[in-house]
Chains A and B, each alone.
Chain A
Amino acid sequence: QLQESGPGLVKPSETLSLTCTVSGGSISSYYWSWIRQPAGKGLEWIGRFYPSGSTHYSPSLKSRVTMSGDVSKNQFSLKLKSVTAADTAVYYCARMSSLGWFDPWGQGIPVTVSS
């Protein structure tokens, strides 16, 4: 199971920080991703993380995204800097297979960017 956590409200220009806690298995041997969905819109892939430290980010968000992980806590995290209202969305974490599909997903955490 995956569970997202973090603040539900972030001020414009600040950094959005979320954590995904994985239970029922180690994060060590899989890719992990963050995906978001703005209200009324479709899904958007943010990037993927491998516990060895390898990362790959969506070109549209690459300049603002950092993903990392803590194997000892079985957690991985997302940092998105310089946020604006356009970053308001439900954020999901998910395990990503080596062939590119996402399963399972977390329940999602809504994040609003507003002053």
Chain B
Amino acid sequence: QSVLTQPPSASGTPGQRVTISCSGSSSNIGSNYVYWYQHLPGTAPKVLIFKNDQRPSGVPDRFSGSKSGTSASLAISGLRSEDEADYYCAGWDDSLSSVLFGGGTKLSVL
């Protein structure tokens, strides 16, 4: 069981807005940056959000990240079929002295 907790699944219809949560603790999310990755099966994971809410160049502004206390969220607006993928939150944990990944959320576009 991951120390960073994500819902195992999420879904939405094209055009909708979907939010994926990531819950942690004071030793990880509460005191360090959160990152979000998109992973399509058979491909290399791709960073969507870094430093809580920053988008790398090339990532559409439909993707946004936020953090409050010991929780973080990834929001995807204007949902598209190509957004169907696994999404992972990640960050450093001071107590474990390790990078942690959430368990992943499988997003379905209905």
Contact check: which of B43, B56, B101 meets A44 at CB < 8 Å?
Answer: B101
User: Interface size (B, Cβ < 8 Å)?
Assistant: 27
Q: Which residues of chain A have C-beta atoms less than 8 A from B45's C-beta?
A: 43, 92, 102, 105
Contact check: which of A33, A43, A48, A102 meets B47 at CB < 8 Å?
Answer: A102
Known contacts A58-B98, A102-B47, A42 near B88 by CB under 8 Å: yes
Residue A99 at the chain B interface, CB threshold 8 Å: yes
Q: Which residues of chain B have C-beta atoms less than 8 A from A102's C-beta?
A: 35, 37, 45, 47, 90
Give the Cβ gap from B104 to chain A, nearest Cβ, in Å.
4
Contact A42 B102 (CB under 8 A): yes
User: Interface size (A, Cβ < 8 Å)?
Assistant: 22
Task: Tell me the residues in window 34-64 of chain B with beta carbons closer than 8 Å to chain A beta carbons.
Answer: 35, 37, 39, 43-47, 50-51, 56
Known contacts A92-B45, A105-B44, A106-B44, A100 near B32 by CB under 8 Å: yes
Residue B99 at the chain A interface, CB threshold 8 Å: yes
Contact B44 A59 (CB under 8 A): no
How many A-B pairs with Cβ below 8 Å? 64
Report the separation of the CA atoms of residues A53 and B99 in the bound assembly, to the nearest whole angstrom. 19
Report whether over half of chain A's contact residues are helix, strand or loop; otherwise say mixed. Answer: loop
> Which A residue's beta carbon lies closest to that of B47?
A103
Contact A43 B33 (CB under 8 A): no
Residues on B lying within 8 angstroms of A by beta carbon are 2, 32-33, 35, 37, 39, 43-47, 50-51, 56, 88, 90-92, 96-104
